[in-house]
Structure 1
């Protein structure tokens, strides 16, 4: 029987055609979302010294406001993933960006620490919902052979946004005060949300999985290539564990995925212990180590700047064992973070080591969403990525309180960084366990059709 040339497998279509201007537009919008996420997440750490001075606070009193957004990030991630798997990536993403933009703008007018803490929590709700859905949406428009590279390149926006926050804070705070940083971090996302409403498409893979009309799927693919014009039906084949079905949460906790799920959660958790320990506290720790306030802020800004290395790691992940590649990067991160504690005597050496540590650690951390995207199937992908980030955010909370507790116990500069480095070792071990315990899942292709007003059906599948 002759194959119907009008039946199109959407992933095969993405694999066969060049990466179009339409896909680059999606990449650019998602990159900006992640960049703003990084800026707004890190902003509180860069304004922390100003808060201590203006409101007469102790370092310990800062812990709630530093961690408030992280609780919001966790809550936003845990709820937004299942919502995106049910209602669509775009709807949740636009709402999330508008929410964190509005809340960050309002934070600039906080009158005391309690108000700022509440508003940082609300900001975190939006941030927690935005990033995993941006990662998921972008990945579902990527060809298989470039998915990790493109996803990691997009995720570089997070450390770049955090670094940009440091550089802008060092320039803006002396002129306009700490509130100006929050105003900027809130106004831009509000504008971006309006642009997204008009320009951002729904995920084509999601539309097939949720049986959207063929005309809508065809319209999206036509913006990639005119070859979609003759398509009458759409299918989606995945490497599958055929017995896995149901809600996104049920999929990611099912037998084929449970070990990998827990290990990804642990690795992401430990990565954020490192990131938030350092991004929130390095300006203060460096100032106490003898650097002036401006130099301390600039030195701390070098840590997230190094995340651009994720592009190269994504290229390696597309060619070699992704678990092992990221595990190696985390192990090197642990060594370099320990070295920060040994470098306080020389400003030049300290800055160099901070940059190296940031390059390694942020490269490893930024690669975990791409690992999760490839691990989970379409019907559970947004939930898998969002829950990894949501559960992992508690690592950020732990990191923020960790340094406060170490300072309370009067642990020295070297001891603080040695303790933080242990988290890198644990992340390495988690990824190796995921690699060793990951079963080989059989490949199963399924098809779905959508013709005229009929809906597109997709096969129940698992990870790519």
Structure 2
């Protein structure tokens, strides 16, 4: 007899003793069933699709930093004048994430993901035709709304379709798409801009996601845990679960989720849930950590090419070396996922931020040696970007199904204010003519603050939740 049959028999017997209705018999918890199975080909397909969405997201998010030197040259403006453009998308990312999380917890992960991808694709295309700082800032803000909505829903969808024992690695593998997409932006920009102008980068950033939308609509499923929590028809849930488990589930009359195990006030919103007494400390620590990490990430990805150009690097070399920072995050994210599945995830990431602080200082001291400088930029990217990309995997199991998209999205949204501050602070620091080495040394401070928040999380997370202890 299969495990499902055993579970169904046990459930039926329990229901009979309790006098439950026949519909409550032969019920299966979707997450338990997913956890019992090895990763199927269908789950790997969903992983690839979510990875691709985040790669497109990362490309469109980071390209403004790579086209900035060309804009300064073509428009004849001061570098500091680009600060509103640099930060506009980040404001959009913040608002988009905070709107999309509750929307996905209400309407589903898949529809919000598709709509948000179409949104950022269209406005990325339109950015290519911006003729002023003001119009570009507006278009980058609108692009950011879609970018901010897409990321948390792709991560949430994959987290809910992944087995618990491999969730951190699987979610991190999805998130690798973002730094790789950001790194690809630097490499592609270096090739496109000299021949086709800065506009070509934004056109590519719009066309690619538009072409990908039909693929998402055809192959992406809705989250089975979400459907079970929202009492979707068993047939809809069964269709997804049979593709994951590759077995007949026609005997299952009802699918359940872990959401039923969470006690919440009647009519409580998803935001109210993540800020309730049980979750508020974990929520605040996640927000703080994401804030600090994005402050570092966006200051460097937005301004490093200009800082390097000022330090004597050519435009092409500045773009290529800057691309090493997000590129290194791909390795850090995968290694981080493996370690988080085996050890205390919060403490693993706290340790990473300590190493990141040391490396950031070291990068600033190596400007005279291009090879060493590039190597240290890559290593710093492994730590900073890898730790940042691992935070959604840390957050996903903390929250129940009915608040998970909101919990992840608001962490991303509130944390984006750190990215906004980083983008604005880069312009201020350049205006103050601070040496690159001093700017990097200052960035060690938020890395150490992120470490502190993670250590608090490791102690204060809701009891029994897996992200902080193994």
**TM-score, scaled relative to structure 2:** 0.92
Contact 2:392 2:408 in 1 (8 A): yes
Tell me, in whole angstroms, the C-alpha distance in 2 between the residues paired with 1:293 and 1:71. 28
Contact 2:176 2:334 in 1 (8 A): yes
The answer to whether residue 300 in structure 2 is matched with residue 278 in structure 1 is: yes
Residue from 414, 417, 422 that aligns with 1:399: 422
Tell me, in whole angstroms, the C-alpha distance in 2 between the residues paired with 1:412 and 1:3. 67
Q: Secondary structure at the match of 1:281?
A: helix
Residue in 1 that maps onto 2:353: 330
Give the 5 Å matches for 1:63-462: 63-224=83-244, 225-237=246-258, 242-243=263-264, 246-308=268-330, 309-441=332-464
- Note the C-alpha offset of 1:104: 0.2
> Cα 1:215–1:63, aligned 2, differ >3 Å: closer, same or farther?
same
Q: Secondary structure at the match of 1:234?
A: strand
Greater helix share, structure number? 2
Tell me, in whole angstroms, the C-alpha distance in 2 between the residues paired with 1:305 and 1:441. 35
Tell me, in whole angstroms, the C-alpha distance in 1 between the residues paired with 2:237 and 2:368. 60
Residue in 1 that maps onto 2:18: none
- Note the C-alpha offset of 1:423: 1.1
Q: Secondary structure at the match of 2:161?
A: coil
Contact 2:398 2:465 in 1 (8 A): no
Tell me, in whole angstroms, the C-alpha distance in 1 between the residues paired with 2:260 and 2:403. 14
- Give 5+ residue unaligned stretches, structure 1: 444-462
Residue in 2 that maps onto 1:452: none
Tell me, in whole angstroms, the C-alpha distance in 1 between the residues paired with 2:390 and 2:326. 14
Contact 1:372 1:384 in 2 (8 A): yes
> Cα 1:442–1:368, aligned 2, differ >3 Å: closer, same or farther?
closer
What's the CA shift string for 1:130-164, capped at 9, x where partnerless?
00000001111011111111000110000000000
Residue in 1 that maps onto 2:4: none
Contact 1:40 1:162 in 2 (8 A): yes
Tell me, in whole angstroms, the C-alpha distance in 2 between the residues paired with 1:81 and 1:313. 25
Q: How many residues align?
A: 445
RMSD of aligned alpha carbons: 1.8
> Cα 1:155–1:239, aligned 2, differ >3 Å: closer, same or farther?
farther
- Note the C-alpha offset of 1:253: 0.1
Tell me, in whole angstroms, the C-alpha distance in 2 between the residues paired with 1:325 and 1:21. 30
- Note the C-alpha offset of 1:242: 2.7
Q: Which moves more between the two structures, 189-198 or 281-290?
A: 189-198
What's the CA shift string for 1:148-182, capped at 9, x where partnerless?
11000110000000000000011111111111111
Q: Secondary structure at the match of 2:130?
A: coil
What's the CA shift string for 1:339-386, capped at 9, x where partnerless?
111111111111011000001111100000001101111000000000
> Cα 1:239–1:259, aligned 2, differ >3 Å: closer, same or farther?
farther
Contact 1:132 1:382 in 2 (8 A): yes
Tell me, in whole angstroms, the C-alpha distance in 1 between the residues paired with 2:39 and 2:250. 18
Tell me, in whole angstroms, the C-alpha distance in 2 between the residues paired with 1:196 and 1:275. 29
- Note the C-alpha offset of 1:410: 2.2
Contact 2:160 2:224 in 1 (8 A): yes
- Give 5+ residue unaligned stretches, structure 2: 1-8, 13-24
Contact 2:363 2:440 in 1 (8 A): yes
Contact 1:241 1:256 in 2 (8 A): no
- Note the C-alpha offset of 1:244: 6.0
Tell me, in whole angstroms, the C-alpha distance in 2 between the residues paired with 1:348 and 1:73. 34
- Note the C-alpha offset of 1:239: 9.9
Tell me, in whole angstroms, the C-alpha distance in 1 between the residues paired with 2:465 and 2:132. 57
Tell me, in whole angstroms, the C-alpha distance in 1 between the residues paired with 2:68 and 2:52. 25
Tell me, in whole angstroms, the C-alpha distance in 1 between the residues paired with 2:185 and 2:194. 14
